[in-house]
Amino acid sequence: MTEWYCAVDGRSEGPMSEDVVRDMIARGVVTRDTLVWNPEYADRGWTRAGNSEISSLFGPPQSEPIAANPAPVHDFNAFTSFGNFPDYELATKGQRFLGALLDFVLMSVASMVSSLLVIVVFGIFGDARNLGGRGAISPPALILLVIVAVAPVLAFGIYNLYLLSKNRQSIGKKIMNTKIADTDGNSADMWRIILLRGLLFGIICSIPVVGVIVSIVDICFILFREDRRMLHDIIAGTMVIKI
């Protein structure tokens, strides 16, 4: 079956059968001027649909009055291969929100585990037999307290770092099948993810009052921006796409 790709709103849609293309034509999504591409004619590059093998799907041409200010037509000669159109798809609002929520919940669970372990260890080693004359906990117990306090959070952070370095995913993004990319759809640089998305934005969010406002604005960006980039994405020059 012949499969087609169509350039819709600056993005490549496809592959799709001729029946799907016919439906898009009926809905006005694909017109004679829409750029289309087919792997069978890869050497020809992107072509206007009206000049391609699917031109018959439009039916007989109809004469139209010439507009006083005709809409500009994209220079299709610039698009010589499929690669000129983005072959990625932005993560949905739901994927972005749920991914962030999962990361927050998992981080909170790791922190709670740390707190519970500290309470348990302190209950075991903090009794009178392990206290010095000045009420200080013994060094071995103190070392153990430090270990159990940081181990769960540290393990969570290390695993997240591993996923980010491998596939540019946090745990939440891995579950939601999304990843962090640069604005061209390529894997984002790790320094952008760690220093700009993570460290710099984390410092901003830790500022009293300001941090709360910035965090709220950050979430609102998902709802009101077409590209669904959050504030930390804009700072880091990144976006989140489907995989």
Examine the pLDDT at 22 and tell me if it is beyond 50: yes
Domain ranges of the chain: 4-84, 93-242
Q: Please check whether residue 227 is in contact with residue 171, taking contact to mean a CB–CB distance below 8 angstroms.
A: no
| DSSP bridge partners of 13 | 6
pLDDT at 127: 53
Q: Please check whether residue 33 is in contact with residue 73, taking contact to mean a CB–CB distance below 8 angstroms.
A: yes
191 Cβ neighbours under 8 A, 6+ residues apart: none
pLDDT digits (tens, 9 = 90+) for 198-239: 888 888 888 888 888 988 888 888 888 877 888 889 889 999
Tell how strand 4-8 and strand 11-16 pair up.
antiparallel
> What is the DSSP code (8-state) at residue 59?
-
pLDDT digits (tens, 9 = 90+) for 92-137: 888 988 998 898 888 888 888 888 877 777 676 655 444 444 555 6
Examine the pLDDT at 142 and tell me if it is beyond 80: no
End-to-end CA distance of the chain: 25
pLDDT at 62: 59
Examine the pLDDT at 242 and tell me if it is beyond 70: yes
3-state class (DSSP) for residue 138: coil
Binned at pLDDT 50, 70 and 90, residue 176 comes out as very high
Nearest to 190 by CA among 220, 168, 173: 168
